[in-house]
């Protein structure tokens, strides 16, 4: 398991957020993961195709 997910789990266990506060954390982490995925795809589009 990635270290970032371990850190997130530890944070949730320590703070025990509920309701909107929990939703805020989950949404923030979802967007961070999504943007990292998009950035990775963006960097690799055309890689190896000889178009760059």
On whether residue 13 sits in a domain, the answer given is yes
* Residue 23 pLDDT grade (very low, low, confident, very high; cuts 50, 70, 90): very high
On whether residue 29 sits in a domain, the answer given is yes
Q: What is the mean pLDDT of residues 10-23?
A: 98
| Rounded-to-integer distance, Cα 41 and Cα 52, Å | 15
Give me the pLDDT at residue 2, please: 86
Q: Rounded mean pLDDT of the chain?
A: 90
Domain that holds residue 31: 3-42
In this structure, what are the phi and psi dihedrals at residue 4, rounded to the nearest 5 degrees? -60, -35
Range with lowest mean pLDDT among 1-5, 11-15, 19-23, 34-38: 1-5
**Domains held by the chain: number:** 1
Q: What is the mean pLDDT of residues 4-12?
A: 95
On whether residue 48 sits in a domain, the answer given is no
On whether residue 27 sits in a domain, the answer given is yes
pTM assigned to the model: 0.75
On whether residue 16 sits in a domain, the answer given is yes
């Amino acid at each position: 398991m990635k270290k970032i997910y371990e850190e997130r789990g530890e944070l949730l266990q320590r703070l025990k957020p509920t309701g909107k506060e929990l939703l805020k954390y989950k949404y923030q982490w979802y967007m961070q993961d999504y943007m990292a995925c998009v950035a990775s795809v963006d960097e690799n589009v055309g890689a190896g195709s000889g178009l760059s």
